[in-house]
């Protein structure tokens, strides 16, 4: 996946063919990216919010291009299966992606990509603050203009699942125990409002 992302023009660490003595587990030797994990950047108060939102706009635009390519080529390997602000490293004007995981089963690339977007948004809103939910999702809606089928599918997969009463009840319990965390229903509802 690292080589595949690199070929497609996305920034990933270099892979080195190195032997590290005395390590029994399987391992991968990568270049060290100089930068700050997106999580740290979003949750640190010293950076102004407008700058953070501009950074997110760049991130979502890059993600839209990757998802467009993935859907067009039916390419499951251009989707990140452990999306999290800890797995994106920011350096000047660039995003680096780490922590690639095996692909779970999805009925389509578009569903896999939609799930990546939903999950990343959930963690981004948690890191930035739940009060920025609508502004972040507004940026997502603008960035994904032209890719509405992906957004609609993401909403359908979340809000159209059977046994909604049960999922929503579990979701409200989750929110009671952690009122500042965004859940996937917060994200899907916000997108639905914007579509």
Contacting positions for Mg ion (CB under 5 A): 86-87, 99
CB of 61 to ligand ADP, least distance (A): 22
**Which of 51/99 has CB closer to ligand ADP?**
99
Assess contact for 92 and 41: CB atoms under 8 A. Answer: no
| Partner that binds at residue 83, options Mg ion, ligand ADP, none, CB closer than 5 to 8 Å by kind | none
**Which of 83/137 has CB closer to Mg ion?**
83
CB of 73 to ligand ADP, least distance (A): 26
**Which of 23/32 has CB closer to ligand ADP?**
32
CB of 87 to Mg ion, least distance (A): 4
3-state secondary structure of 36: strand
| Partner that binds at residue 30, options ligand ADP, Mg ion, none, CB closer than 5 to 8 Å by kind | ligand ADP
Rounded to whole angstroms, the Cα distance separating 189 from 194 reads: 9
CB of 130 to ligand ADP, least distance (A): 23
Q: What is the DSSP letter of 56?
A: H
Rounded to whole angstroms, the Cα distance separating 180 from 154 reads: 22
Cα angle for residues 92, 98, 100 (degrees, 5° grid): 155
| Partner that binds at residue 53, options ligand ADP, Mg ion, none, CB closer than 5 to 8 Å by kind | none
**Which of 86/119 has CB closer to Mg ion?**
86
Assess contact for 141 and 191: CB atoms under 8 A. Answer: yes
Assess contact for 188 and 114: CB atoms under 8 A. Answer: no
Tell me which residues touch ligand ADP (CB under 6 A).
Answer: 13, 30-33, 37, 86-87, 89, 98-99
Nearest to 195 by CA among 159, 152, 161, 132: 152
């Amino acid at each position: 996946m690292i080589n595949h992302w690199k070929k497609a023009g996305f920034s990933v660490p270099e892979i080195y063919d190195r032997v590290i003595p005395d390590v029994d587990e399987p391992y991968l030797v990568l270049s060290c990216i100089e930068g700050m994990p997106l999580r740290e950047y979003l949750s640190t108060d010293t950076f102004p919010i407008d700058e953070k939102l501009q950074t997110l706009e760049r991130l979502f635009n890059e993600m839209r291009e990757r998802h467009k390519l993935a859907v067009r080529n039916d390419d499951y390997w251009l989707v990140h299966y452990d999306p999290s602000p800890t797995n994106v490293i920011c350096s000047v004007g660039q995003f680096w992606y780490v922590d690639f995981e095996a692909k779970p089963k999805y009925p389509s690339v578009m569903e896999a990509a939609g799930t990546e977007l939903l999950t990343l948004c959930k963690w981004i809103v948690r890191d930035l603050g739940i009060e920025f939910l609508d502004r972040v999702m507004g940026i997502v809606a603008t960035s994904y203009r032209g890719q509405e089928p992906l957004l609609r599918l993401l909403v359908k997969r979340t809000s159209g699942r059977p046994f909604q009463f049960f999922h929503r009840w579990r979701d409200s319990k989750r929110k009671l125990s952690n009122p500042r965390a965004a859940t996937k229903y917060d994200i899907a509802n916000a997108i639905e409002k914007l579509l």
